[in-house]
Chains A and B, each alone.
Chain A
Amino acid sequence: MFELKPMLSALWRNKISALLIAVQLALTLAIVSNATVIVQDRLEKMARPTGIAVSDIISVTFMPVPVNYDMAGAVAADLELLRNMPGVVDATVTNQIPLSGSGSASTYFTEPNQEIGGENANYYQTDEHFIDTLGLNLVAGRNFTRADFDVIGPNDTYEPRVAIITQKFADVMFPGEDAVGKYFYSGGDGEPREIIGVVERHLGAWPSWSKAGQVAFYPLLVTGNHKRYLIRTEPGQRDTVYKQIEEKLAERDPQRVIHLDTLSKRMAQSYISDNVMVKVLSAVMTLLTFIVALGIIGLTIFWINQRNKQIGVRRALGATRANISRYFLVENTLIAGAGLAIGMAAAQVINHFMVNQFSQPVLSIPTLLVCALILLGVSVTAALVPAIRAANISPAMATRSV
C-alpha cells in the first residue's frame, strides 16, 4: 500500500523544500544532541552526592572589632552556646565553608622529603565535632578527640600530627590499602601526619575541581582575624534556628560583625554557572525544536495547499481519507529520516570537535538515537494536523477547481 517509489520521485521533483527541512532537522539534531550531553553532564555533576547534610546546615562567619581579641575563648564560648540551642544537632569551627567555592588546598606525599608526584587535596582546620555537624560517615578509624585539638596563632609554624581524610583521597594516596595508621607529608619538611580516620565522602570546597572529593581534616584552630562556624539543625528546623543564632551570637558578644548563610545557598552559588548553562542550553534546545516543528507545519501546509487538486484527484481515483493522511505522514517521515541521518553524522563530527577543543563529554550512540527519535516524533506530530486536514479535502476538488 505504501507508495514509496512514486513518492520518492515526487519528492525528488520538490527537492529544494524537502532539502531545506531535512537540513534544518539535521542541524537541530546536531545541536540538540550535543547540548543534551552537556546538560546531562552538568545535571549529573550537580546531582553528585556531597556527603554533607547540606539542607540542614547554617554557616556563620564573624569578624571581631577589637584588636586584641581572645579568639580561642570566643570560639569555645560560641560553640558551647550554639550546641545548647534548641533545634541544633551540633556545631563546629572551621577555616572555610565546604562547597562554597573558597577553600585551601595543598600537595601531599606518601614519603618524607618527596618533591614530585604528590597528590592534591583540599584541607580544613576544624574540631572533633565536624563529622556530626556535617553529617559525614566515618568508615574507618576514629574521630578526633579534644586531646588531638590544638590552638595556634596565625604566624606560628606548626605541623598537625593527626588527620582524617576522605575515602577518595585515601584511594589515590594508598590505592588498595587501608589508609588508617599510614603517614603522609606536606611539602619537603618531612613532618609525618598520621591518618587516624577515613570518612566516606566530602566534596570539598570546589565542586567543579577535577580533584573534588580529595579532602583532609586537621584538629586545629588558627586564631586569626575571622572565624567560621557550621551549625547543623534538626531536619526542618533550619530557618527557625537561623534567626535565633544571629540574635544569640550578637547578644553574647556584640563586638563583632556576623554574617550568616545557609549551606544550600552557598552550594547553589558555586553551581551557578552549571545552572545557567543548563537553563540556557535547555532554552536553546526547546527553541530550535519549536522552530523546526513550525518549519515542518509550514512546509506540510504549503505542500498540501499546492497539491489541493491532486488530493481531490487521488480521492476521486479511490484514495480513502486514511490514504491521504498517510501519504503526507510517510512523506514527512522520509524527509525527517533523511535529515536525521545526516544530523547523526553531523552531531558526531561536532561532538568530536567539542571533546577535543573544549573537553566536553562524549556523545553516546544511545543518547544520539534518543534525540533523533524525539525529533522524529516532533516531526510526525507537526505534520499530523495538516495531514489530517488534507484528508478532509473534498474529492469534488478534482472537478471543481481549475
Chain B
Amino acid sequence: MLKMHNIRKSYRTDTIETHALRDFSLQVNEGEFVSVTGPSGSGKTTFLNIAGLLETPTGGQYLLDGEDVSSLNDRDRSRLRNEKIGFIFQGFNLIPDLNLFDNIDVPLRYRGFNAKERKKRIEKVLEQVGLSARAKHLPAQLSGGQQQRVAIARALAGEPRFLLADEPTGNLDSLMARQVMELLEFINEWGTTIVMVTHDPDLARRAHRNIQIVDGQVSDLQHGTIGAAREIA
C-alpha cells in the first residue's frame, strides 16, 4: 500500500537547515492499522505529510499503491489526495463558515460527484458517526469529540483506501478519545488502511503495529515489536 525507501526531507530557512527525515524507510500493508509515536519534533507530521502528498520529499522513493508519486504534478497529486487518502487532523480543521453537511461536501465536490450522489454519501457517513441530526449545525455548535467525528465523516465520505490521522485525539478528553479510537478501529475493520500519529501510549498499543520515529528515522528498537500479536497474518 505504502512503501517509502530512503526518504529525506529537509527544511531550509535563511540560516539553518533542518533534517526532518533522513533515510526513512517504511512499508505499510493494505488493511493495516499502524500507530506512529515519537518525541516532539522527531518528524512524525513530516512523515504523514509526505505519505499524504501534502509535501514532497527532498529525496528518496515513495510508492503509493505501487505508483511512484514523486514525479506527479500538482493536479494529479490533488486528485490522489481526493480519491485515495482521507485526513484527520488534531485540530479537526472543519471549515467554520460551513455547516456539517457542507463541510463533508467539500471533498465530494472536488471529486465531481453529482448532487444526488453527494447527498447520499453525506447522509451515510453522518449516520455512521452518529450526527445525522446535526447536519445543519455549524462546527462551533459542536463539542470537540463531535467535531472530530464530523472530520472523520468528511475523510470517509470519499471512501478512501488510506486514512492518515495526526494526533486525532490530541485535543480530546479521554472519553471522547476512546470514542474516536473505536470509530477508527471500526473503519479499519471494514478495510481502510490507517496510519495514526499519537502521543498516547494506550492508543498506540491498540494498533496492529507501532513504529517509533526518533530524530527523523524509524527507531530500530521499536520497529515491529508493539502490537505484533495483533498483526493480520
Contacts and interface: CB of A to CB of B under 8 A. Distances in A.
Contacts, number: 83
A302 to B, nearest CB: 15
B95 A310 contact: yes
Contacts of B79: 318, 320
Contact of A9 (B55, B87, B97, B111): B97
B47 to A, nearest CB: 11
B228 interface: no
Interface in A290-311: 309-310
A29 B184 CA distance: 55
Interface stretch (A65-73, A272-280, A394-402): A394-402
Interface string B40-59: 00000100110011110000
Contact of A318 (B45, B93, B110): B110
A161 interface: no
From A1, A6, A13, A316, residue with most partner B Cβ within 10 Å: A316
Contact of B54 (A6, A316, A319): A316
Interface in B146-198: 154, 158, 166
B97 A317 contact: no
Given A318-B82, A321-B74, A395-B54, A313 B48 contact: no
Contact of B81 (A3, A5, A14, A395): A395
Interface in A87-146: none
A394 B75 CA distance: 13
Interface in B69-112: 74-75, 78-79, 81-83, 87, 89, 91, 93, 95-99, 102, 105-107, 109-112
A230 to B, nearest CB: 73
Nearest to A14: B97
Contacts of B109: 1, 3
A319 B110 contact: yes
A317 B55 contact: no
A317 B83 contact: no
Interface string A4-47: 01100110011000000000000000000000000000000000
Contacts of A396: 49, 54-55
Nearest to B45: A399
Given A1-B112, A6-B98, A402 B91 contact: yes
A244 B112 CA distance: 82
Given A318-B82, A396-B55, A398-B87, A323 B102 contact: no
A201 interface: no
A314 B110 CA distance: 9
A9 B74 contact: no
Contacts of A400: 45, 49
Contacts of B107: 317-318
A396 B93 CA distance: 12
B93 A9 contact: no
A3 B101 CA distance: 13
Given A3-B109, A9-B97, A318 B54 contact: no
**Nearest 6 CB-CB pairs, A to B?**
A318-B82, A10-B97, A317-B107, A318-B110, A395-B54, A6-B102
